[in-house]
Amino acid sequence: MSTVITHHPDSTTLLSYAAATIAEPLAAVVAAHLSMCPRCRAEVADLELLGAAIMLSAPDCSSGAALKVPARPADVAKLADGRVAHSNDRLPAPISAAYALSLDSIPWKRLGPGVWHHRLALRQEGDGDLRLLRIAPGRKMPDHGHGGAELTLVIEGAYRDVTGQYRRGDIQDVDEGIEHQPIVDTDGECICMIASEQPARFKSLVGRLTQPWTRM
Amino acid sequence: MLHPTSATRPVGWMTRRPFRGTMSDLLSRIATDRSEDAFRSLFKEFGPRVRNFMMQQGADAGLAEELAQETLITVWRKASLYSAEKGSATTWIYTIARNLRTDHIRRQRAWQELTDEHAQKIPSDDVPADEVMDARQRQVRVQTVLKQLPPDQVEVVKLAFMDGLPHSEIATRLSLPLGTVKSRIRLAYQKLRTALEDLQ
């Protein structure tokens, strides 16, 4: 069954990804989505074309100091074709490559009844928060409603909230101040990746997670 | 003996916008002949622009020069992977420069793939054939859109791409609400989409 992706990142998110001004954890989630979504890949390519046009047309502010032409660079005998063809793992390729993980090898830590997580390290701690979350069928996802941007990508299973159903490959691009209460579908657990540009907020979310949360 | 390349160089070689027609030629001479002459030409053309980009993004003169060199050296090394159908050559240089800047100036992992890696990783059958065609025409359209955008939209887009500012910092810089910055970006993006619509 082929997955149809119906929820995509906002165009402002794609632009900040193409300009690389997006926080590292959010960039990771967008990269994972792009590996599953040809449409967004094409859109990012167009935004990169825009970035190239801007870079190349900008007036030179470096006051014309001569730039030294490097000596002939060494040839690389054979460029490492180390890029392994796509593994069949369900974990998006950029994530499995960066963290040497597969969906079966994630060292889940239990957060509460029916909820597990695994935190993914960032190159600069303090740049936000990136983690995988695994939630049992029918469970409520943690409350959202944050300051700052947050992205959720569904990797397995599905959840719903007032804005619709989110399935594998779908991304929820949550803007500041949006309240939503996602509930995992009853026919299977849901694995997703959540990135937040504000570490403190996510901590409080994890705090809430560990509390009893059967209240609706 | 006359040096063939210097003899055939078009007039205005070193002026601001000659790369459009020559870029792919230079790349293919680098890829197939390992031509040092082509590399020097490419470097003279793009090196200063990339250095300028790095300085705009916060690098000092020394680091900017280093990163400009590294960008073009990467082009030399990977030229054989590049093929004109995959995308615009200038986009390729931009993405290499952008990722080096993320790595060295922002000290973050660059999650953005290079355009050639996109192309390699994606099985060609999941991208409609038309989409990869005519990169040149796409590039010209994008340059035209950029010229036609209203100044307030150009401003935010340039602050993102050239100055490397996140949306929130653009808002601070311009004393605008974040929502206004985002809607200007959305409007600019919409114009880009419209201009490229019939090429998809």
Cα-flanking dihedrals φ and ψ of residue A192, to 5°? -140, 170
> Are residues B162 and B108 located together in one domain of the fold?
no
Range of the domain at B167: 134-200
CATH number of domain containing B186: 1.10.10.10
Structurally, chain B folds into a number of domains equal to: 2
Instruction: For residue A110, count other CB atoms closer than 10 A to its CB.
Output: 11
Interface contact B63, partner A, CB < 8 A: no
Look at residues B125, B151, B167 and tell me which one is the last residue of a structural domain: B125
Q: Quick: pLDDT tens for B77-92.
A: 887 776 655 567 788 8
> Are residues B121 and B193 located together in one domain of the fold?
no
Among residues 10-29 of chain B, which lie with CB inside 8 Å of chain A?
16-17, 19
**Would you state the torsion angle of the CA atoms of residues A134, A123, B76, B136, taken in this order, to the nearest 10 degrees?**
50
Over residues B120-148, mean pLDDT: 68
Q: How far is B31 from chain A (nearest CA, A)?
A: 11
The whole-chain average pLDDT of chain B stands at 80
Q: Quick: pLDDT tens for B24-42.
A: 778 878 878 888 888 888 8
Residue of A nearest to B75 (CA): A73
Q: Quick: pLDDT tens for A141-168.
A: 766 555 678 899 999 999 999 889 999 9
Which residue of A3, A10, A43, A62 is the best one to mutate when testing the B interface, meaning the one whose CB has the most B CBs within 10 A? A62
Whether the predicted pLDDT of B9 surpasses 50: no
Contact A152, A191 (CB under 8 A): no
Helix (H), strand (E) at residue A182 = none
Instruction: For residue B147, count other CB atoms closer than 10 A to its CB.
Output: 10
> Are residues B46 and B97 located together in one domain of the fold?
yes
pLDDT of residue B8: 42
Q: Quick: pLDDT tens for A13-66.
A: 999 999 999 999 999 999 999 999 999 999 999 999 999 999 988 877 666 667
Q: Which domains occur in chain A, in start order?
A: 11-57+91-210 (2.60.120.10)
Instruction: Give the closest residue to A59 by CA, choosing from B97, B17, B139.
Output: B17
Look at residues B108, B125, B142 and tell me which one is the last residue of a structural domain: B125
> Are residues B86 and B185 located together in one domain of the fold?
no
pTM for the complete prediction? 0.85
- What lies within 8 Å, CB to CB, of B56 at 6+ separation is A58, A61, B162, B163, B164
Could you give the count of Cα atoms lying within 13 Å of B131 in the half-sphere of its Cβ? 16
| Greater pLDDT, B111 or B28 | B111
pLDDT of residue B12: 36
- Per residue, what are the HEC states of A81-128? CCCCCCCCCCCCHHHHHHHCCCHHHCCCEEEECCEEEEECCCCCCCCC
pLDDT of residue A69: 78
Which residue is listed with tokens 């599905």? A158
Q: Quick: pLDDT tens for A74-101.
A: 665 544 444 444 456 899 999 999 999 9
